[in-house]
Amino acid sequence: MNKQPRALYLLNIVSMWECFSYYGMRVLLLLFLIDDFGYTESEALSLYALYTTFVELGGILGGFLADRYLGLQASIVLGGVTIAAGHLCLSQHALSSLCFLFGLGCIIIGTALFRSNVAALVGSLYAKEDSRRESGYTLYYAGINFGGLLASVLCGVVAKYYGWSWGFGLAGIGMLLGLFCLYLGRRCLGISSFFVKKCKMVILGLLSSAGVLAVLLHMGMVVTAILALCSIVYIRVKHKEILLQKCLLLRSIGGIILCLVIFYACEEQLGSSLLLFAEKYVNRGAIPTTSLQAINPLTILCLGITLAMFVKRWKTYKKLSMSFFLLSCAFLLLAWQGSSLWVFMLAIVLLSLGELFMGPTAFALVAKQAPEGMQGLFMGALMTGFSMASFLGGVMSRMIVNERISLLAFEKGFYVIGCVACFSAVGIWKMYRRKYARVMD
């Protein structure tokens, strides 16, 4: 793999710790809501889906603020601080449920400023025609999953033996470590201090927004659909000229985002229906349910770079089609004999390989085609795709986990997902090869 910019490795480390904090909290959230807060499975899945949807939906706002007001560097600093504050609230969840929801709101706001803008900053390290971009995003994508791997193992074990507060607190420490690494490497990224004087007002505004989000988390999935629709309308109206000038290009990007929505709606089952399935029906022995989540980042970490080198000459439509083929194999295996530990683990490996074909490809394409000065906004639009995936994933998980949870209900749900993924793989192969291959590549 060609030599990459030095700043990429710093952003890898910082994002690794942000992923540690996010996935550390994510592997605990569903089980915590059921075991500690007394939610039913359906209620817990609803809140989980709404939370993950808001996390990704905020990317469009974070990108806009970075492009117009804060800059990419300042946005990720402020985002990291707000995420750390959110984890502090989660660790004090015993005080009240309002404190817990406020903590979730802080993490949503902080992630909105952090995640899409870090991805945009990675893209800004490369010239438009730099052939290293996609391999750089694969390196970035594989590297940050090391944080997810650590979180899946450590936070779950700490929560099991020392309590939920310690598990959430450990996830927050990850974000603080990320901020410390960012401080040490600030010169590498050219981070300035222009925003420090107004930092108090900005943080006050972020915390106020977190309070609003804590209320919205009670208002259901309809709110999320309305906000996502407003984001799409904003892009179309505000940047109408660009849409007209690059219609075919943006149609291809829209197609990429549609593929991403469908794929990650299925992948999002890792933290919801698959987590409950493993808890109730997989023969795990002494292995904690949360530790099985580590298979996903471990596969990406171990095979990401090798796979990137192997498929670097593949066309985009081939990578997208392969991602859905692997996704189909994973869920059909789960439907066939998912209660076997080895089959369950193999299915997660296949799903993770599919993610390696989808994620870096989507990030690299959007970073390459985003107009100058709008990298944050377009990366935020991609994050809106992740948001809609979380929304759709929540709907899917509640359809699978109905009021009467049974092994048969899980198997039927996994079978349907596997068939949809198979049809998607065939459809992408035929449609994109014919219409958009040249534009995308």
- Assess if residue 1 is contained within a domain: no
Q: What is the CATH number of the domain that holds 152?
A: 1.20.1250.20
The type of residue at 125 is L
Which helix (H) or strand (E) segment holds residue 80: the answer is helix 72-91
Residues 275-316: pLDDT tens digits?
Answer: 888 888 888 877 777 778 788 888 887 877 777 777 777 777
Is the separation of the CB atoms in 266 and 421 below 8 Å? yes
User: What is the pLDDT averaged over residues 216-227?
Assistant: 53
Residue 302 CB neighbour total at 10 angstroms? 15
Specify the pLDDT at position 326.
92
- 128 or 90: whose pLDDT is higher? 90
Residue with token string 């994510």: 26
User: What is the pLDDT averaged over residues 228-244?
Assistant: 51
**All residues at 6 or more sequence positions from 103 whose CB lies less than 8 Å from its CB, including other chains:** 85, 86, 87, 88, 89, 90, 92, 93
0.85 exceeded by the pTM?
no
- Assess if residue 176 is contained within a domain: yes
User: What is the pLDDT averaged over residues 63-72?
Assistant: 74
- Average pLDDT over the chain, rounded to whole? 75
For residue 4, report the phi and psi dihedrals to the nearest 5 degrees.
-105, 160
How many domains, in total, are found in the chain?
A: 1
- Assess if residue 331 is contained within a domain: yes
- Assess if residue 373 is contained within a domain: yes
- Assess if residue 121 is contained within a domain: yes
**All residues at 6 or more sequence positions from 101 whose CB lies less than 8 Å from its CB, including other chains:** 214, 217, 218
- Assess if residue 425 is contained within a domain: yes
pLDDT category at 22 given cuts 50, 70, 90 is: confident
Percent of the chain with pLDDT over 70: 75
Domain span including residue 258: 6-307+314-440
Whether the per-residue pLDDT at 441 is higher than 60: the answer is no
- Assess if residue 356 is contained within a domain: yes
CA angle 219, 223, 225 (to 5 degrees): 145
- Assess if residue 151 is contained within a domain: yes
